[in-house]
Each structure stands twice: as structure tokens, then as C-alpha cells.
Chains A and B, each alone.
Chain A
Amino acid sequence: MRNIIIVIKKQIKDTIKNKVVLIQFILFPIMTLIMENAIKLDGMPELFFTKLFSIMYMGMAPLTAMAAIISEEKEKNTLRVLMMANVAPWEYLAGVGIYVWTICMAGAGVMATGLEKKDMLFYLLVMGIGFVISIVLGGCIGIFAKNQMVSTSLVMPVMAILSFGPMLALFNRTIEKVAKFLYTQQISVLLNKMSFGQGNGESIIIIMINAAVFIALFFMAFRRRGLE
């Protein structure tokens, strides 16, 4: 447990110095605040930007942060030093995962300021679940990638599909048919309804299947490559 806290402390310190990761964390919360307050068009759905950016935030920030942090440590060989200092791989991954999740939740907290109080808990719960799935997927990429360049090339298409898929599905039926199998699309559906009430069974099942697949992928990648 102590090593997990040390990894979290290290990451928090690094966030202030690492502008690339910092931008990932604050970009969408700030954009949400600005757009929700600056743009009001007739016929525009309520909280349009909050919901749109929430999904983009979920598909981008945890995924890129997780993959970037792990691959950078692998490339610079600092991860090996941690392992030699007796930090277990699971402690490292848990530390980075908890850190990314907490920061993302703080961002989601900022994005939730426009919501009604009764919806806030639901919103944060759904976002929290989505962040976990993105973190697991980002972890897979970080484990699989040997260096930052490989990590970026793998993250970009995955991130684009997860983030832009649900947005493009608003305008295109064919894309919607494919995007419905993504957890980000189903979370988007849940955010539009703002409840776990009836008719959400399909969304919940798809989200669970996504989570199960990515968790299985994560363990496969970890067993195969470890953190080497």
C-alpha cells in the first residue's frame, strides 16, 4: 500500500511539471465551462456540451495519460529502477491507475457543475465507471508499447474511435450501428437519460462486456509482457 501511495505522490508532482498530461486533464473541463456559458442556441439540447465533452474526456484523458505515463517510464528505464527498488508491477499500475482516475473524477466534478443536484451522483458514478474502463485500456496500450512513439500511434486511433464515435453517431445512422458496441456510446446514452431506469439494460450489458473484454486484454498483455 505504501508503494502505491508513493507512486501516486510521484505522479501528482509530475502532473504540475508535465504540461502534455496536464492539458489532457484540464482541457475538457475548462472547455465545458466556457461553452456551456458562452453558447446558447435555440433548439440545442440541454447540457449539450457537458454531455458531448464528458464522453470525449472519458475516451481521451485516462487513455492517453495512462499509456503515456507507462510508456515514458518504460522508454526512460525509470520503471525498471522502481521494480529493482522492490515496487511490484501491480503496485505501480494501481498507483498510476488510482492517480489518473482521481484526477479525471476531479475534472468530471468540474464538468458536473452545470447539472442539477439530483443528477450529479448519477453522472459521477457513470463517469467513474467509464474512466475505469478507459484506464484499463490505456494500461493495455502502455504495457504493450515499448516506447512513447509506439504508445502514441496505438492511442490515437483508439482514442479517436472512442471519443468521436459517439459524436459522429449523432449525425450518421451507420456509424451509430457500429458505435453502439462501444462503452463510450452507451455511457452517452445513459447520460442523455440521466438514470439507470428501465430501458437501459442493453447499455449496461454492453458496458459490462466492454469492461470484461478490456480487463481480459489487460491481464493477457500483462502476463505476456509484464512491465518490461
Chain B
Amino acid sequence: MIQCANVYKSFADKTVLSGVNFDIPSGEIFGLLGPSGAGKTTLIKILTGQLAYEAGSVRILGENVENLTGEDKKKIGIMMDEFGVYERFSCVENLQIFADIYGIPHIKIKETLEMVGLQDAMRKPAMNLSKGMRTRLQLARVFLHSPKIIFLDEPTSGLDPQTMKSIHKIILEKKETGVTIFLTTHNMEEATALCDMVALLNEGVIVEKGAPKEICRKYNHQKKIKLHLSSGEDLELKHGKESATEISRLFEAGAIETIHSSEPNLETVFLELTGRKLQEDA
């Protein structure tokens, strides 16, 4: 559905993308994970035909991205943080413009706004919407014409956890309908919760890619089990047969308060591979 082969892009002397490769099958959520400045937005702009690239090939829906026709573009939905909404228009009026462009009956507007949870704000001018509601409106604009591929650039950036969760739910519902979703994020929890596949992007290079759980398992070098005991003591045991008796004994004695395996998350994998954190403030 989306193929990116050996893509290079530079701005002046700075190489922003260097040999980026991936292939996203139909119906999957693919997450591009990386810190600010890693090249995520540049890549999404290249994939959506907003930006030219120097070398490599990008194919969307089986077509070279530069040769996409108007009809092909109607099968694509894009939400970027920088994309605005018509501030003086209500949610309905905002969507009416795009319903007319895509030739969609206006009845679908109400359905779409209900889908993203904006049914109570339909007549509210966009300028009076909260950041979360505005994101939902942008999502509604993307979903309105039922695209086959959706590009989401940091869809939950700056949102509160509750709104973030509800947006995740909407994205997963869309996936259930067979839509292919490409999303960029610097939030590893979001990537783990949503994505079938992730690529870790650092300074324009994909340093690792695969299913989030597989990646975490691959980098599980410590293989330890961490226990917090009722006595307040913390215990680290080897992840192996030799620890089974000890763990069983502690359970029987009711001495275990919490127990965790030590496998890493995407954040720690990224840190191990690049020496950088995904979120600078994390």
C-alpha cells in the first residue's frame, strides 16, 4: 500500500532522510517513532507528495507518488498538526466544504462528527474549540471521504490522556474497517498501543523496525524478573528455571507485592540504539 525505497532528502547541506526503506501492507497501522527533528514530518510530506525527494522511490496505492491522479488523491486522507481549520466556520461548515469537494452527501457530515465525538459541538465555530476538539475536527475532515490510506502526523501531540485515549479508539476503529494508517509520533506508549509495525527514526535513518513487542523482546538483554516485596525490599532474579523455586516460595509466603519482567520498552530500545530519548522532556 505504501512503499518507500532508499529515500534521501536534504535541506541545503543537512541530510534529513538517509536511505529510508519500508513497505506497509494494506490494513496495518505503521508508526514512525522518533524525537523532534528526526525527519518524521519531512517523510510524511514526501509520502503525501507535498515535498520532492532527491533519490529513491515512493509508491502509494501502487503508483509513484509524483504520478498520483486526482482520483488517487481522493483515496488518501492527511492530518498534519500544521493543517488549519476555517476558524470562523462551524464544525459542520468546515466539513461541508470538503464534502462538496469530494462529492459526498451532506448527511455523512453528521455521521462523521458523531464518530469523532463532536456531535454536541456541530454548530460551534472552530475558533471556540479546545485543542482536543480541534484535533477531532481535523480527524473528521480526514475520515469524511472514507480514504483507503490515512496519514496522521503526531495526532495526539499536546492532548490530555483522556482525549488521547478516545482518539486512539477512533484510529483503531478505522483500522478495523481495513484502512491503512501511517502515523508519526514521539510517544512510545501510543506506538505500542496502536501500531502493528513501527520504525524508529533517528537523524533521518531508520535504526530499527518491526512489531513493537518483537523489538522489545529482541533487545531484552537483561532477562531479569524484578520483585517488590511486602517488606519493602526490591529483588532482582534471573529470568530462568533457577528462579522458579524462589518465586514460588515467595508467592506461597505472600511476600510479593509486585512482579515485573525486565523487557525494555520502545523508549529504552531507542535510547540503547541512539543514545537519545524519544521525548526530550521525558
Secondary structure of the A side of the interface?
helix
Choose one: B73, B74, B141; the contact of A81 (CB below 8 Å). B141
Nearest A residue to B85 by beta-carbon distance?
A78
Q: Are A81 and B83 in contact (CB under 8 A)?
A: yes
| From A9, A76, A82, residue with most partner B Cβ within 10 Å | A76
The reply on B251 being an interface residue by CB < 8 A is no
* A77→B88 contact, CB < 8 A: no
Assuming the contacts A84-B48, A85-B98, A86-B101, asked whether A18 and B83 have C-beta atoms less than 8 A apart, the reply is no
Q: Interface code B99-113, partner A: CB below 8 Å = 1, 0 otherwise?
A: 011100000000000
**A86 with B73, Cβ < 8 A, contacts A6-B97, A81-B141 known:** yes
Decide: B50 and A85 in contact? CB cutoff 8 A.
no
Whether A6 pairs with B84 at a CB distance below 8 angstroms is no
Residues in A45-98 with C-beta less than 8 Å from chain B = 76-78, 80-82, 84-87
Whether the Cβ atoms of B73 and A14 lie closer than 8 Å is no
Report whether B74 and A86 are in contact in the complex, using a CB–CB cutoff of 8 Å. Answer: yes
A80/B100 in contact, CB under 8 A: no
- A3 at interface by CB-CB < 8 Å: yes
Q: Does B87 contact A (CB under 8 A)?
A: yes
Q: Give chain A interface residues in 10-32, CB to chain B under 8 Å.
A: 10, 13-14, 17-18
CA distance A55 to B185 in the complex (A): 54
**Total contacts A to B, CB within 8 angstroms?**
48
Whether the pair B97, A17 counts as a contact (CB closer than 8 A) is no
A84 cross-chain contacts in B, Cβ below 8 A: 48, 50, 73, 78
B101 in complex: contacting residue of A13, A77, A78, A85, CB < 8 Å: A85
Interface of chain B residues 58 through 93 with chain A (CB within 8 A): 70, 73-74, 78, 82-89, 93
Find chain A residues with CB under 8 A from B78 CB.
84
Q: Within the complex, which residue of A3, A78, A87 is in contact with B86, where a contact is CB–CB below 8 Å?
A: A78
Closest Cβ of chain B to A94, distance in Å, is 15
Residues of A within 8 A of B125 (CB): 17
CA distance A81 to B80 in the complex (A): 9
Interchain CB contact (< 8 A) of A13 among B73, B84, B93, B102: B93
A3 touches B93 (CB 8 A): no
How many chain B residues have a CB neighbour from A under 8 Å? 22
Contact between A77 and B82 (Cβ–Cβ < 8 Å)?
yes
* Chain A interface size range: 10 to 19
User: In the complex, which residues of chain A have a beta carbon less than 8 angstroms from the beta carbon of B50?
Assistant: 80, 84
User: A132 CA to B274 CA in the complex, in Å?
Assistant: 58
Query: Which chain B residues lie closer than 8 Å to A13 at the CB level?
Result: 89, 93
Query: B100 and A6: CB pair below 8 A?
Result: yes
Known contacts A84-B48, A84-B50, A84-B73; decide if A77 and B98 are in contact (CB<8 Å): no
**Beta-carbon contact of A86 and B93 below 8 Å:** no
Hey, which chain A residues are within 8 Å of B102, CB to CB? 85
Query: In the complex, are the beta carbons of B100 and A18 less than 8 A apart?
Result: no
If A84-B73, A86-B70, A86-B73 touch, whether A14 touches B89 (CB-CB below 8 Å) is yes
Asked if B87 and A9 make an inter-chain contact with CB atoms under 8 angstroms apart, the answer reads no
Instruction: For the complex, give the distance between the alpha carbons of A85 and B74 in Å.
Output: 7
The answer on a CB contact under 8 Å between A17 and B48 is no
Most B C-beta atoms less than 10 A away, residue of A6, A76, A81, A87: A81
A6 and B93 contact, Cβ closer than 8 Å, known pairs A77-B82, A84-B48: no
**B98: chain A residues within 8 A (beta carbon):** 85
Measured between alpha carbons, how far is A6 from B74 in the docked complex, in Å?
Answer: 16
Q: Are A17 and B89 in contact (CB under 8 A)?
A: yes
- Closest A residue by C-beta to B97: A10
Interface set, chain A 140-189, CB cutoff 8 A to B: none
Query: Min CB distance, B228 to chain A, in Å?
Result: 49
* Contact present for B100 and A77 (CB under 8 Å): no
Chain B residues close to A by CB (< 8 Å): 48, 50, 70, 73-74, 78, 82-89, 93, 97-98, 100-102, 125, 141
> What are 14 residue pairs bridging A and B, where the CB atoms are less than 8 Å apart in the complex?
A2-B100, A6-B100, A9-B100, A10-B86, A13-B89, A76-B86, A76-B87, A77-B84, A78-B83, A78-B85, A81-B141, A85-B102, A86-B70, A86-B73
In the complex, besides A76-B85, A80-B50, 20 extra interface pairs with C-beta distance below 8 angstroms are A3-B101, A6-B100, A10-B86, A14-B89, A17-B88, A17-B125, A18-B88, A77-B83, A78-B85, A80-B83, A81-B83, A81-B141, A82-B101, A84-B48, A84-B73, A84-B78, A85-B73, A86-B73, A86-B74, A86-B101
